[in-house]
Structures are given as C-alpha cells and as structure tokens.
C-alpha cells in the first residue's frame, strides 16, 4: 500500500496514510488532523490545543526521568522473578511472559494489589479478542468492565491511601479543583488499557528478533552483562521500528486537505499507519537493517508531534530491563524447533505466539 496507494480511501470516509513523510506531516498538524475522534472522554489522547496541553502536563508529571529511574529496581526484581520461573530447554510462549511482567511492573508503578494480576491478564486477553473481532459493541462492553475495575481501585485508594500513582492522582489538582472521578478513570484507562498490551506485545517482538538474529543477540548479551541499559533500550526501539506492533492511530479532518494530490474532505477520518511509515525506504535506506543509532532520529514507534507518547521512557526502561534480565539469565535464545511463530490478527500488531527455547 505504501508504494501502490500511499493515500488510501476505503470508500466509507476513512483514509490511511502509509508514507513516513505524510504520517509525520499529519501528526505535526493537529489543527487539520484533529485527535477528537471519539465521543468517549480520552485524556489526554482525544483532545487538541490548549485543552490537550493542560491534561498532558498532568500525565507527564508521572513519567519524568526521575520517576522512571525510581521504578527500575522494582522492574529488575519482577523481571528476574518471572524469568527464573520460566522453563529451560522446553518450548514456552514469550508473549505470555511479557504479559505477566507488564502487569506486575505496572501494578508496582500504580500501587495496585498483586491479587489483581489474573483479572488484568484475563481482561487484556478479552480486550485483544474484542479488538480483533471489530465488534464495537463488544469492545465497549470490555472497556466498561475495565472502568469498573478502576473505580473499585479508586474507592479502595480513597479509603486506604497507599504508595503509588493512583493515590497521587486522587490528590491531583486542575485549575484549583481536584480531578473528577471520570477524568482519573480516563487517564488510568489510557495508561493501562492500551499500554499494558503494548509492552507485552513489544516483548514478543523483541524475543522474536533476538531468536532470529543470533549475532545481535550475542552483542546485546555482552552489553547486558556490562549493565548498559542505554544500549539495550536503543536496540529495543530499533527492533520495534523494524516490526512495529503499535500499528496506527486515528485523526479526524477539520478542513478539506490535499495529500499527494488527493483531497481528503473535512469530517473524514485518517489513520496514521506507524508500522508502514517505520519501514518506508525513503526514510530508512534499508528498512530491514538493524541500525539503532542511524535510524533513531526518524523512528516513529512512539509517534511524533504533540501527541507523541509520554510513556516512551517508561516503556523503554521496562522493556530494556526485562531484555537485560533475559539475556543475562541465558546463554542462548532460539526458536523452538517444530513450532512456528504466529502473527497477531490485524488490527492487533506483533505476534500472538513466539515459541522459543532458553538455554
């Protein structure tokens, strides 16, 4: 599509941009490509302009480099524990390991109880299934179930304030007033609902890449043993560029706009396809080549423009930490013989099944 039809129309009011330059231009023009795509309150994702900046500033306070660093030791402990309980010399599912790690790391950050782990894992599976089905009603029902879980946690945190971000959000103020419950629910939903899944799916991509590239794996194991988290994080971001599991985000057009000679009329929808843009040979001379340093400047895994992911540093820390723990706990990560990795069903990206052997 990127080569044959880079500005594609589905005939029903939705367009998709596939080329790197077009996706970047749209992401940097929120006045034309608005993020107000949903009737649901989605903070800060679904806002534009000054209103977006206000809520974005609140979200960013929880993802500063200091906060990310403070969480790193807990993530190392969780990753080491999850990996120690993973069998050696027999086939296991990398994505399942990533899921358990993502849930535990996020619960540590948010101050959520460990007993919630299985409920969250089940919810993630149901959410993926609903997304795959394309059934909006089912997706809405699953989202509602998540809101019920969050409301119960908020009520608990109100009565028994504990450490963690959830309790802090309850004390957060906006223009002199506390945040409304629906605002807190929306913020937490965006952090968890979309992003728990993306950490787990990203880990599947990383393990698949390591098993497929033994030389890179060896080099990164040496970096992991030397404690070079920066090198591992840069490498992880490049693996995610090559096989970007966070496929797309939507916009709605505020005025007629021309892209590559095609007029997209006001009110139509536009999908920014990060995955296709991240493999555009116009931006990356050899898109398949693993070149962390060279490609970093144009990497779109975490988006670009005013909505670029505020969770980037947090995500890369979490992913680098589990990758380090996996590499130092093993001498080899290989594809399991007799099994093939299985792709996720679009629109979910990445792999649903990455069978590997650890030695």
Q: How far is the CB of 339 from ligand HEM (least distance, A)?
A: 25
- Convert residues 249-288 into a mask of x (bound to ligand HEM by CB under 6 A) and - (unbound): x------------------------x--------------
- Which one, of 180, 177, 172, 171, lies nearest residue 151 by Cα? 180
- Nearest approach, Cβ of residue 275 and ligand HEM (Å): 10
**Quick check: 314 binds ligand HEM (CB under 6 A)?**
yes
- Candidates 113-121, 158-166, 253-261, 299-307: pick the segment binding ligand HEM (CB under 6 A): 299-307
Least Cβ distance, residue 91 to ligand HEM (angstroms): 25
Strand, coil or helix: 151: helix
In the complex with ligand HEM, which residue's Cβ is closer, 304 or 330? 304
CB of 195 to ligand HEM, least distance (A): 3
Q: Nearest-CA neighbor of 44 among 307, 302, 272?
A: 307
Sheet containing 7-9, strands listed edge to edge, beginning at the edge strand earlier in sequence: 7-9, 14-17, 269-273, 248-253, 33-34
Angle 103-142-83 from CA coordinates, rounded to 5°: 20
Minimum distance between the CB of residue 273 and ligand HEM, rounded to whole angstroms?
11
Indicate the residue among 274 and 358 with the shorter CB distance to ligand HEM: 274
Q: Which of 311, 341, 349, 350 binds ligand HEM (CB under 6 A)?
A: 311
Q: Which of 7, 23, 24, 27 binds ligand HEM (CB under 6 A)?
A: 27
Contact 307, 252 (CB under 8 A): no
From 307, 322, 330, 341, residue interacting with ligand HEM (rule: CB under 6 A): 307
- Report the nearest approach of ligand HEM to the CB of residue 150 (Å): 14
Residue 166: CA atoms inside 13 Å, Cβ hemisphere, count? 27
Asked if residues 202 and 350 have their Cβ atoms less than 8 Å apart, the reply is yes
310 binds ligand HEM (CB under 6 A): yes
Q: Does 303 bind ligand HEM (CB under 6 A)?
A: yes
The distance from CA 175 to its chain's CA centroid, rounded to whole angstroms, is: 30
Integer-rounded Cα radius of gyration of the chain:
20
Angle at 280 between CA 274 and CA 283, to 5 degrees: 105
Quick one: 68 or 82, whose CB is closer to ligand HEM? 68
Q: Is 16 in the site for ligand HEM (CB under 6 A)?
A: no
Closest to ligand HEM by CB, 21 vs 336, is 21
Site string for ligand HEM, 181-210 (x = CB under 6 A): ---------xx---x--xx--x--------
| Strand positions, DSSP E, the chain | 7-9, 14-17, 33-34, 92-93, 173-174, 177-178, 248-253, 257-259, 262-264, 269-273, 333-335, 342-343, 351-353, 355-358
The residues near 354 (Cβ < 8 Å, ≥ 6 apart) are 93, 94, 95, 204, 207, 208, 211, 341
52 to 81, contacts with ligand HEM by CB under 6 A?
Answer: 56, 59
Q: How far is the CB of 300 from ligand HEM (least distance, A)?
A: 7
Adjacency order of strands within the sheet including 92-93: 92-93, 355-358, 333-335
Residue 194 CB, nearest approach to ligand HEM (Å)? 7
- Residue from 302, 322, 330, 348 in contact with ligand HEM (CB under 6 A): 302
Length of the chain: 359
Smallest distance from the beta carbon of 350 to ligand HEM, in angstroms? Answer: 10
Q: At its nearest, how many Å lie between ligand HEM and the CB of residue 197?
A: 9
What residue ranges bind ligand HEM (CB under 6 A)?
Answer: 27, 35, 44-45, 56, 59, 190-191, 195, 198-199, 202, 246, 249, 274, 301-303, 307-311, 314-315
């Amino acid at each position: 599509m990127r080569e044959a039809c880079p500005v594609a129309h589905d005939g029903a009011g939705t367009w998709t941009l596939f080329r790197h330059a077009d996706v970047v231009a749209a992401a940097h023009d929120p006045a034309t490509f608005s993020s107000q795509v949903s009737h649901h309150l989605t903070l800060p994702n679904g806002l534009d302009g000054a209103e977006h900046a206000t809520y974005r500033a609140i979200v960013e306070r929880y993802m500063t480099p200091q906060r990310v660093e403070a969480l790193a030791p807990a993530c190392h402990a969780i990753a080491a524990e999850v990996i120690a309980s993973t069998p050696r010399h027999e086939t296991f599912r990398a994505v399942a390991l990533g899921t358990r790690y993502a849930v535990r790391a996020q619960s540590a950050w948010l101050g959520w109880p460990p007993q919630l782990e299985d409920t969250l894992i089940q919810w993630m599976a149901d959410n993926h299934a609903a997304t795959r089905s394309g059934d909006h009603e089912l997706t809405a029902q699953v989202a509602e179930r998540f809101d019920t879980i969050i409301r119960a946690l908020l009520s608990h945190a109100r009565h028994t304030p504990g450490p963690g971000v959830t309790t802090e959000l309850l004390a957060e103020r906006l223009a002199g007033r506390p945040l409304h419950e629906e605002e807190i629910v929306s913020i937490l939903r965006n952090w968890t609902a979309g992003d728990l899944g993306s950490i787990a799916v990203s880990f599947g991509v990383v393990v698949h890449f390591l098993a497929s590239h033994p030389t890179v794996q060896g080099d990164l194991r040496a970096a992991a043993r030397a404690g070079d988290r920066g090198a591992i994080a840069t490498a992880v971001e490049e693996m995610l560029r090559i096989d970007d599991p966070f496929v797309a985000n939507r916009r709605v057009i505020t005025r007629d706009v021309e892209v590559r000679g095609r007029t997209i009329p006001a009110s139509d929808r536009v999908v920014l396809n990060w995955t296709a843009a991240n493999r555009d040979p116009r931006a990356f001379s050899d898109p398949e080549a693993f070149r962390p340093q060279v490609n970093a400047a144009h990497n779109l895994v975490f988006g670009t423009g005013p909505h670029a992911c505020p969770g980037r540093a947090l995500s890369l820390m979490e992913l680098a930490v589990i990758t380090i723990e996996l590499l130092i706990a093993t001498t080899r990560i290989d594809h399991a013989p007799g099994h093939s990795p299985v792709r996720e069903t679009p629109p979910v990206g990445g792999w649903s099944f990455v069978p590997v052997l650890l030695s």
